[in-house]
Amino acid sequence: MKITIAIPTIAGRTKYLASALKTCVEQSYDNMEIIVSDNSPGEALTVVQSFKDNRIKYIRPDRYLPMSAHWDFMVPHFSGDMVTIIGDDDGLTPGALKLVSKIVQQRGIKPIQHSLAYYCWPDFPLEKYRNKIWFTNLSGAHTEIRQSKDYLVDLCNAKTGYIDGPTIYHNFIPRNIINKLLIDDSIFHRSSPDIYSAISIAAHTDEFVITREALTMSGHGARSNGASVRDGGADGKRFISEMRLAEYVPRFRSLSVQLQTLDAILEASERYSQPELKDWIDYGAHFCCAANECLDMPNRKKAARQLALVVLEATKSGCLPYLLRDRGGKLLEKIGQTLRGQHETSGQSAAESGFNTNVKYEVPTEVTDIYGATMHLNQLLKNGCKP
Confidence bin at 325 (pLDDT 50/70/90)? low
Confidence bin at 305 (pLDDT 50/70/90)? confident
The structure's pTM equals 0.90
Confidence bin at 343 (pLDDT 50/70/90)? very low
Closest CA to 197 of 323, 113, 96, 109: 113
> How far is residue 194 from each of residues 37, 189, 197, 261, measured CA to CA in Å?
17, 11, 5, 10
Tell me what percent of the residues of the chain surpass a pLDDT of 90: 61
How high is the pLDDT of residue 11? 86
How high is the pLDDT of residue 320? 79
| Bridge partners of residue 145, in order along the sequence | 209
Written in H, E and C, the secondary structure of 6-65 is EEEEECCCHHHHHHHHHHHHCCCCCCEEEEEEEECCCCCHHHHHHHCCCCEEEECCCCCC
Q: Is the pLDDT of residue 373 over 70?
A: yes
Q: How far apart are the C-alpha atoms of 264 and 189, rounded to whole Å?
A: 8
Confidence bin at 353 (pLDDT 50/70/90)? very low
Burial of 112-135, coded b for 16+ CB within 10 Å and e otherwise, reads bbbbbbbbbbebbbeeebbbbbbb
How high is the pLDDT of residue 35? 98
Q: How far apart are the C-alpha atoms of 169 and 213, rounded to whole Å?
A: 16
Which has the higher per-residue pLDDT, 291 or 154? 154
312: how many CB neighbours lie within 10 A of its CB? 14
Which has the higher per-residue pLDDT, 267 or 254? 267
Q: Is the pLDDT of residue 216 over 60?
A: yes
pLDDT 10s digits, 279-299: 999 998 898 888 888 877 666
Calculate mean pLDDT across residues 95-101: 98
Q: How far apart are the C-alpha atoms of 83 and 251, rounded to whole Å?
A: 30
pLDDT 10s digits, 101-116: 999 999 999 999 999 9
Are 319 and 254 spatial neighbours (Cβ–Cβ below 8 Å)? no
Domains and CATH numbers, the chain: 3-220 (3.90.550.10), 254-340 (no CATH)
Closest CA to 216 of 130, 89, 36: 89
Confidence bin at 349 (pLDDT 50/70/90)? low
Q: Is the pLDDT of residue 54 over 60?
A: yes
